[in-house]
Chains A and B, each alone.
Chain A
Amino acid sequence: MKIECVIDGKMLSLNLNSNKPLSLVLQEDLDNSTVNAHCRGRLCGLCAVLMDNEAVLSCMVPAFELNEKEIRTFETFQKERSMRDIERAYDEVGVKPCETCYQSRSIIIESLSNKLLERPNTPSEQIISELSVIDCSCMDTEDMLKIVKRVTDLKRRRNVRRS
Chain B
Amino acid sequence: MADRKGFTKYNIQYGLILRSPIGHSKLLGFNLPNLDKSFFILKGEDLEGNNSISFIDGDIPIFASGEIAYKGQPLLALFGTDFESVEIALSKITPITEPIDEESGPTEFIEPYEYSFGKEQIPSDEELSKMRKTESEFTFNATLFSNPYRYATYAWLDGKGITIESPSQWEEPIRKNVSYHTGISENLIEIINQKHFSKRDEYLITPVIFSVIAAIAAKKTGLPTRMRSVARAARPQFKIKKTTYFDEEGNMAFEDADMSVDQGAYPIAPHELQRQAMAGLLPLYRVGRFRGRVSILKSFNAPASFSGGLGYPEASAASSVHISKLPMKNTLTPIQYFDSFDSGSTKFNDILPSIDISEYQDSIEKISELSSYNRKWMTNSLMKSEFGLMGNIRGIGFAMAVGIAGFSTTFAKHSPFEAQITYTQKHNISLNTSGSSSRDIEYWKSIIENEIVEKKGSEGAFIFIERSSDTIDSGPDTLNRFTSCLTPQLKEAAMKIDSIKDKEKPPISIRFKVENPNSPCEFEPSGFGAEIIELSISEYSYKPVVRNIWATLNLDNVINTKDVKERIKRHILLTLEECGAVLSNTCKINLSIVDHNKNDGILSSIVAIAKSMTMGAFLNALKQATGKESPELPTGAVNIESLLSGRSNEN
Chain A residues within CB distance 8 Å of chain B: 27-28, 33, 36-39, 42, 44, 46, 94-96, 98-100, 125, 128, 137-143
Contacts and interface: CB of A to CB of B under 8 A. Distances in A.
Contacts of B453: none
The main secondary structure of chain A at its interface with chain B is loop
B300 to A, nearest CB: 25
Nearest to A145: B585
B566 interface: yes
B149 A125 contact: no
Given A137-B577, A140-B569, A100 B230 contact: no
Contacts of A138: 570, 573-574
Contacts of B570: 95, 98, 138-139
Nearest to B576: A137
B576 A142 contact: no
Interface string B195-218: 111010000000000000000000
A77 to B, nearest CB: 17
Contacts of B587: 140-142
B147 interface: yes
A94 B197 contact: no
A33 B152 CA distance: 10
A33 B573 contact: no
A99 B148 contact: no
Contacts of A28: 82-84
B586 A99 contact: no
Contacts of B197: 98-100
8 contacts: A28-B83, A36-B149, A38-B148, A46-B148, A98-B197, A138-B570, A140-B583, A142-B587
Contacts of B586: 141-142
A94 B84 contact: no
Interface residues of B, number: 30
Given A96-B566, A140-B587, A36 B576 contact: no
Interface in B549-583: 562, 565-566, 569-570, 573-574, 576-577, 583
B370 interface: no
Contacts of A37: 148-150
Contacts of A143: 569
A141 B585 contact: yes
The main secondary structure of chain B at its interface with chain A is mixed
A141 B588 CA distance: 8
A143 B1 CA distance: 32
A29 B184 CA distance: 33
Contact of A99 (B83, B195, B588): B195
Interface string B287-326: 0000000000000000000000000000000000000000
B589 interface: yes
Contacts of B151: 36
Contacts of B589: 140
Contacts of A99: 195-197
A137 B148 contact: no
Q: Which 7 A-B pairs have the closest CB atoms?
A: A99-B197, A39-B148, A44-B148, A137-B577, A137-B573, A36-B149, A37-B148
B574 A137 contact: yes
Contacts of B576: 137
A38 B150 contact: yes
A128 B1 contact: no
Given A98-B570, A99-B196, A100-B199, A137 B583 contact: yes
Nearest to A128: B585
A143 B585 CA distance: 11
B373 to A, nearest CB: 20
Nearest to A100: B197
Interface string B531-564: 0000000000000000000000000000000100
A100 B82 CA distance: 26
Interface centre among B84, B574, B584, B585 (most CB of A within 10 A): B585
Given A28-B84, A39-B148, A100-B147, A95 B574 contact: no
A42 B148 CA distance: 9
Interface in B137-178: 147-151
B81 to A, nearest CB: 12
B592 to A, nearest CB: 13
A36 B585 contact: no
Interface centre among A100, A137, A139 (most CB of B within 10 A): A137
Nearest to B549: A140
Contact of A36 (B150, B566, B577): B150
Contacts of A46: 148-149
Contacts of A95: 565-566, 569-570
Contacts of A139: 569-570, 573
Interface centre among A36, A98, A140 (most CB of B within 10 A): A140
Contacts of A33: 1
Contacts of B584: 141
B149 A100 contact: yes
Contacts of A94: 562, 565-566
B588 to A, nearest CB: 5
B573 A140 contact: yes
A140 B84 CA distance: 38
B288 to A, nearest CB: 42
A42 B583 CA distance: 19
A46 B574 CA distance: 16
Contacts of A100: 147, 149, 197, 199
Interface centre among B83, B150, B195, B588 (most CB of A within 10 A): B150
Contacts of B196: 99
A4 B337 CA distance: 70
A102 to B, nearest CB: 8
A50 B147 CA distance: 23
Nearest to A131: B585
Given A96-B566, A141-B587, 17 more contacts: A27-B150, A28-B83, A28-B84, A33-B1, A36-B150, A38-B148, A39-B148, A94-B562, A95-B566, A99-B196, A100-B149, A100-B199, A137-B573, A139-B569, A140-B569, A140-B588, A141-B584
A96 B563 CA distance: 9
B195 to A, nearest CB: 7
Contacts of A39: 148
A28 to B, nearest CB: 6
Interface in B581-628: 583-589
Nearest to A143: B569
Interface centre among B147, B149, B230 (most CB of A within 10 A): B149
Contacts of B577: 137
A125 B1 CA distance: 40
Contacts of B149: 36-38, 46, 100
Contacts of B569: 95, 139-140, 143
Interface string B59-84: 00000000000000000000000111
